[in-house]
Structure 1
Amino acid sequence: MLSLLRHLLAVFLYLLLPGAHGRFPNYNNGFHYHDISNGNGNGEIFFNGVRLHVESPQLAVSASRGSSVILPCHFHYEPEPNTPRRTRVKWSWIPANTISEPVFPVATARETEVMVAMGKRQRSYGSFKGRVRLRRSVPGDMSLVINELQLNDTGRYRCEVIDGLEDESVTVDLELRGVVFPYFSQKGRYHFNFFGAQQACQDQDATLATFEQLFTAWEEGLDWCNAGWLADGTVQYPIIVPRDGCGGNNLAPGLRSYGQRHRLLHRYDAFCFSASIKGTVYFLKHPTKLNFTEAVEACVRDGSQIARVGQLYAAWRLMGLDRCDAGWLADGSVRYPITVPRANCGPPDPGVRGFGFPPAHLKFSVYCYR
């Protein structure tokens, strides 16, 4: 050990000698910096001045389900290098429908790879395989094109450009245009644990709403006094008009929150999010009223299927469906959509009116989906 220390001390003293630095070959990694021999003689390192910039003109993008969307990302160097550089681009994603604070000590949300590309070679992963590509409209354009947008594609996307040891990134949030609606079980209020709520929304062609989606719905007038699960594992509900039984008269309007709840043991309703649909929801004109079984069969005979709740909400909100006739839906509920409020069609505000889950033998009309 002593001999090693002596050797290191000798090397150190040698480097302090005038001109000693000139006896070692220069080191340069070709991009980021030059070693001390290229400094100003005062022990200061000079950087070569080339810097990688990664930017996006839009930090949030909204689109419709089933459509294509472009998440913008561009990179450039300052100053521009004289010769082309080999860069690698990686797009990754954190889903919006993610539990942020798990009840159990499981892995927290991590970025999932969407695609990687170097030169003309690229590879996509998971549910994005075959649906994504780089736009490459101009040099430095690494914008991500996603085709056939799905409900679960919402979230935060990261565009990372890597050049050697240097990497820079920018994030873009993707939102789908849609509608939030409260949903409860046929058994009554507060019967869903978290996983049951997830499944209930999925069964209605929807997903559990995110906090941001519920907040937007509250800003647009959603007022609902029953607590429901959200995608992050919290339980909340939106209040426009404070009142007893809904947090009290003394609280300001807003989202009431119970915070994180136990996803297995605690039971509430659900707030679902439905985006635009590819097909058409329509009121089936039938000479007679139908019980539930007859309603299902009538849609099939018409070349369709009985509509789901999420589909009816999306058709009402995004396609202007307006019909003052109550009809069966696939979950056994009876509802009807009102875009233009009028006499004998319920409350004075637009919305989807509901009759709950009446006995299956009762007679109503039906809404079909094609």
Structure 2
Amino acid sequence: MLSLLRPLLAVCWYTLLLLLPGGQCWIRRYNNGFHYQDISNGNGNGEIYFNGIRLHVESPLPSVSASRGSSVTLPCHYHYEPEVATPRRTRVKWSWLPSQTIAAPASPEALARETEVMVAMGNRQRSYGNFRGRVRLRRSAPGDMSLVINELQLNDTGRYRCEVIDGLEDESVTVELELRGVVFPYHSPKGRYRFNFFGAQQACQDQDATLATFEQLFTAWEEGLDWCNAGWLADGTVHYPITMPRDGCGGVDLAPGVRSYGQRHGFLHSYDAFCFSASIKGSIYFLKHPTNLNFTEAVQACAVDGSQIAKVGQLYAAWRLLGFDRCDAGWLADGSVRYPITKVRANCGPPEPGVRSFGFPPMYLKFGVYCYR
């Protein structure tokens, strides 16, 4: 029986090796900021040994959820079968595909759009872009390449890929990162269907939120969100969620679900927006003031109190994630008037929890105000 531990002639890979006169092979070094010695884990004489060892990369969790501003660990572990007696040269690379660009299953085109988060080899590591200074490897045990992300931001959601490279072999696993939050419909103060895609993006950002993904909208629909106006999502598609079929919302004969207009032109078409807001670092409160205020007075009153007038996304996050409940209408930063109800009671609106809205009344009218500190 042939031994599994036998020398094989090195193959002159066109991307790694060049054929020199006389039939010799020369390994072209690959420069990515790290120094490699004997990238093939061979014997240094142009021979590679196959010894039946296989690299395995795994994650015990396909998805992880966390709160905005917190830290999260995306698990990734590698090992060899059978186990090796001595350490081998390995390199790990974490990359990220934002939620708005994810299309399942992952395609080669999607992989090409992945953004590097960090690379590490031995004790050396380097992080990139917006992740610089916020990420590290956990390394709690041999083979642990789990990624720790600090100060989670709204746009950190998406698919993260952990790729472990051993010589010419590499294996990878993906982990989805989701933020706990709330989806809310939003329209322009000028009326319905006034946002093109880029206007919708900006409108959500102005309210301390981001455009929701389809997955976030679908979850909100499962939790009871019913809205009969179409809105942009982060991938440039347009949808609206219906739990109670009715005329004008797809018809009574159509089953409940998330209705889809499909992909729309980002500049030419106009709709509302579905925004996603996650937990906030500060606090929302209804300002105790001796009198009601017009909009200008409301902005000034919050400033005098050492705060700023709250944004719509902040109010929704406080209502959904912190149980904020107040049966008093108050101004918000966009000129709308709203109030949050978690405990349904008489004289506080419809018989279900939610953020009640008075729309965008004239700014000379007087209400209370919600402040953010």
Instruction: Place the TM-score, normalised by the shorter chain, in its bin.
Output: 0.7 to 0.9
> Aligned partner of 2:67: which letter?
S
Residue 27 (1) aligns with residue 27 (2): no
CA contact (8 A) 1:99 1:233 kept: no
Q: How much does 1:27 deviate? A: 3.5
The TM-score with structure 2 as length reference comes to 0.86
Of residues 206, 209, 213 in structure 2, which corresponds to 1:210? 213
Look up the match of 1:259.
262
Q: How much does 1:83 deviate? A: 1.4
Q: How much does 1:30 deviate? A: 4.5
CA contact (8 A) 2:330 2:339 kept: yes
Q: How much does 1:97 deviate? A: 2.6
CA contact (8 A) 2:66 2:180 kept: yes
Residue by residue over 1:296-336, the C-alpha shift from the partner in whole angstroms, topping out at 9 and shown as x without a partner, is 00000000000000000000000010000000000000000
Query: For the residues of structure 1 that align with 2:41 and 2:179, how far apart are their CA atoms?
Result: 44
Gaps of 5+ in 2: 1-6, 11-39, 104-108
Query: For the residues of structure 2 that align with 1:186 and 1:173, how far apart are their CA atoms?
Result: 35
Gaps of 5+ in 1: 1-24, 39-45, 101-105
Query: For the residues of structure 1 that align with 2:112 and 2:276, how far apart are their CA atoms?
Result: 21
Residue 241 (1) aligns with residue 244 (2): yes
**1:132-211 counterparts in 2 under 5 A?**
132-211=135-214
**1:22-101 counterparts in 2 under 5 A?**
27=9, 30=41, 47-98=50-101
Query: For the residues of structure 1 that align with 2:79 and 2:101, how far apart are their CA atoms?
Result: 33
Look up the match of 2:125.
122
SS in 2 for 1:97: helix
CA contact (8 A) 1:99 1:109 kept: no
SS in 2 for 1:278: coil
Query: For the residues of structure 1 that align with 2:41 and 2:122, how far apart are their CA atoms?
Result: 20
Residue by residue over 1:238-289, the C-alpha shift from the partner in whole angstroms, topping out at 9 and shown as x without a partner, is 0000000000011000000000000000000000000000000000010000
Q: How much does 1:81 deviate? A: 1.5
Q: How much does 1:31 deviate? A: 6.3
Q: How much does 1:49 deviate? A: 1.3
Query: For the residues of structure 2 that align with 1:62 and 1:26, how far apart are their CA atoms?
Result: 46
Q: Which runs of 4+ in 1 moved over 6 A?
A: 106-109
Query: For the residues of structure 1 that align with 2:89 and 2:112, how far apart are their CA atoms?
Result: 31
Q: How much does 1:47 deviate? A: 4.8
Query: For the residues of structure 1 that align with 2:258 and 2:216, how far apart are their CA atoms?
Result: 12
Q: How much does 1:108 deviate? A: 9.7
SS in 1 for 2:253: coil
Percent identity over paired residues: 82
Look up the match of 1:357.
360
Residue 343 (1) aligns with residue 346 (2): yes
Look up the match of 2:235.
232
Query: For the residues of structure 2 that align with 1:333 and 1:169, how far apart are their CA atoms?
Result: 47
Query: For the residues of structure 2 that align with 1:85 and 1:309, how far apart are their CA atoms?
Result: 53
SS in 2 for 1:213: helix
Q: How much does 1:183 deviate? A: 0.0
Greater Rg, structure 1 or structure 2? 1
Query: For the residues of structure 1 that align with 2:117 and 2:62, how far apart are their CA atoms?
Result: 18
Q: How much does 1:82 deviate? A: 2.0
